[in-house]
Amino acid sequence: MARESAVRVGLVYPELLGTYGDRGNALVLAQRCHWRDQRADVVEIAAGEPIPDSLDVYLFGGGEDAPQAMAAAGMRASRANVERAHANGAVVFAVCAGFQNIGTSYTLPDGTVIEGMGLVDAATVAGSPRLIGEVVVEPDPPLPRLTGFENHGGRTTLGPGLRPLGRVIAGGGNGNGDGVDGAFGERLLATYLHGPVLPRNPALADLVLTWILGALAPLDSVWEERLRAERLDAGAKTGMAKWWRDLRLARG
């Protein structure tokens, strides 16, 4: 049963946190609502505007260092609103720079520290080499394997008690050597997966919607699943190529 009010999908600072096409996550959530006869509106929060406490989903996307720093200032200023909304049932979904900004801090290559919102206990330090390529993640929540594309230099360490989104099968993920990607909590999900990640992984999109709407009617996602299968195959080949290269280097 669809609810009477529209689902308000908030796209936060897309001109700053929209470098890698993460706007697609908002469009997918809205469309998967529409296919179920549930009204949904994508609400864009322009940079410099306060983030309201009236949204159902808060989407924070990826961006480069300078835009990320500008976005972080606005996000910190609106922390109370986002926390209030989250406590009242809203979802926080953060990708890459958005993930770093909802954490405690991001240390740039020159040592400058960008203070985060502190919604999750996760600290990031810029590292080398840059992590670029296909990623495959075995998620901690009961979902099919996730596929995405990463492009970041961050090395993110999760605090005690903070669950990752999942275990990295191929790619870098959080990048600090612990073999995991993202963070996962109550109505909160963070990841380094672009693509955008929700068009690639319809089950993950529906998980977000269940947090808002409850049980969902099934959808025919055959084309989305074909894309996911193709990208999983590409990620697996990338992982195998890296394994073979590392093995040869180890042998000299």
Distance separating alpha carbons of residues 117 and 178, to the nearest angstrom: 24
Q: Which of 33, 86, 96, 152 is catalytic?
A: 96
The end-to-end CA distance of the chain, in Å, is 62
Q: Which of 33, 86, 152, 194 is catalytic?
A: 194
User: Is the per-residue pLDDT at 117 higher than 60?
Assistant: yes
Residue 236 has what pLDDT? 80
Instruction: Walk me through the domains of the chain, giving residue ranges and CATH numbers.
Output: 7-251 (3.40.50.880)
Residue-wise pLDDT tens digits, 5-37? 999 999 999 999 999 899 999 999 999 999 999
Clarify whether 96 is annotated catalytic: yes
User: Is the per-residue pLDDT at 176 higher than 80?
Assistant: yes
- Side-chain half-sphere CA neighbours of 104 within 13 A: 9
111 contact partners, CB below 8 Å, separation of at least 6 = none
Distance separating alpha carbons of residues 153 and 119, to the nearest angstrom: 21
Mean pLDDT confidence for 138-153:
94
* Burial (CB count <10 Å: 0-12, 13-18, 19+), residue 99: buried
Mean pLDDT confidence for 127-139:
95
Residue-wise pLDDT tens digits, 62-73? 999 999 999 999
* Torsion angle defined by CA atoms of residues 166, 168, 169 and 171, in that order, rounded to the nearest 10 degrees: 150
Residue 235 has what pLDDT? 86
User: Is the per-residue pLDDT at 230 higher than 70?
Assistant: yes
User: Tokens at residue 143, please?
Assistant: 């979902």
User: pLDDT tier at 136 (50, 70, 90 boundaries)?
Assistant: very high
Entry pTM: 0.92
Q: What number of helices (H) and strands (E) belong to the chain? A: 7, 12
